[in-house]
A and B are shown apart, each in its own frame.
Chain A
Amino acid sequence: MPIQYYLFLSLALFSIGIMGTLMRRNAIIIFMCIELMLNAVNLLLVAFSKMYNDSSAQIFVFFSMVVAAAEVAVGLAIIVMMYRKVHSVDINILNRLKH
């Protein structure tokens, strides 16, 4: 399997994540698209780890999962807090940082 196939697959997933981030107005969906982009990068790291037969890249994937988990916990807490204040997760309403 040529390495390019994995490059193009993760590029496609990353671009879909960017399109979703730009298209949607729901803050939670935008957050999920960011997770999708993180996963695309992880996939590429694993492919290169297999290509160079080196396990450091897989450790990097492990750490990026750790950071993603922490990020989701804090980000969802922020979204819940904003929802309590303005009763919406629409980013066009959340764009003021102050109410």
Chain B
Amino acid sequence: MNAYELIFWLLTVMAISCALGVILSRNPVSSVLFLIATFFAVSGHYILMNAQFLAIVNIIVYAGAIMVLFLFVIMLMNLNADTEPQKNRLVQLAGVVSGGILFLVILAALKSSTNNMLEQTATDIGLIKNLGKTLFTQFVLPFEIASVLFLSAMIGAVVLGKKGEEGTA
């Protein structure tokens, strides 16, 4: 087992255990912190696969912006006590069983699929230079549409979040 595989297994164990922590912890704030740890593990996987740009974007956008937004909302609503009423045991069991069955079915379907190897050679397709070239030549129209999407999302969030007069909001 070389260093590459060691890092792979460490990041995998960290990602899965933190993801379990997200759904099992009672306190919403610790759920958010577990989710941030999961995103860091996924970013580690990106670096392992030579996608450095996406690793940085994942940390900045997900762990930096989105999770802070979640944390703000949880603290604004004063939910950081574990007062959440739980679903009854039967519904929880049904959720776990159906998730587990999905896992098993896809696992069985993929077990005998192609066994291509990911080479551990360094490629430079994940660097900003090459991604930028692809983004601004092949995918320039979706990029511009994304800016319109952001504008409409921003306006929508402001309109929804505004304290409307009674009866209009």
Q: Which residues of chain B in 97-149 are interfacial with respect to chain A, using CB atoms and an 8 Å cutoff?
A: 98-100, 102-103, 106-107, 110-111, 113-118, 120, 123, 125-126, 130-131, 134-135, 138-139, 142, 146, 149
Q: Mark B68-109, 1 if CB is under 8 A from A, else 0.
A: 011001101101000011110001101110111011001100
**Whole-angstrom CA separation of A50 from B120 in the bound complex:** 10
Partner of B95, one of A19, A32, A54, A56: A19
The answer to whether A3 touches B54, judged by C-beta atoms less than 8 angstroms apart, is no
**Whole-angstrom CA separation of A46 from B35 in the bound complex:** 20
Task: From known contacts A77-B156, A77-B157, infer whether A9 and B15 are also in contact, taking CB-CB under 8 Å.
Answer: yes
Task: From known contacts A9-B15, A59-B131, A80-B76, infer whether A74 and B157 are also in contact, taking CB-CB under 8 Å.
Answer: yes
The answer to whether B16 touches A16, judged by C-beta atoms less than 8 angstroms apart, is yes
The answer to whether A19 touches B49, judged by C-beta atoms less than 8 angstroms apart, is no
Q: Which residues of chain A in 24-70 are interfacial with respect to chain B, using CB atoms and an 8 Å cutoff?
A: 24-26, 28-29, 31-33, 35-36, 39, 42-43, 46-47, 49-51, 53-56, 58-59, 61-63, 65-70
Partner of A23, one of B8, B50, B92, B146: B92
Q: Which residue of A lies closest to B99 (CB)?
A: A19
**Whole-angstrom CA separation of A1 from B5 in the bound complex:** 7
Q: Which residue of A lies closest to B134 (CB)?
A: A55
Of the listed residues B16, B54, B149, B156, the one surrounded by the most CB atoms of chain A closer than 10 A to its CB is B54
Which residues of the other chain, B, contact A69 by a CB distance below 8 angstroms?
61, 65-66, 150, 153
> Taking beta carbons and an 8 Å cutoff, which residues of A are in contact with B?
1-9, 11-13, 15-26, 28-29, 31-33, 35-36, 39, 42-43, 46-47, 49-51, 53-56, 58-59, 61-63, 65-74, 76-81, 83-84, 89-90, 92
Q: List 14 A-B contacts (CB under 8 A).
A: A13-B16, A15-B102, A23-B87, A28-B28, A32-B35, A32-B70, A33-B23, A39-B39, A42-B58, A49-B125, A50-B123, A65-B58, A73-B69, A74-B160
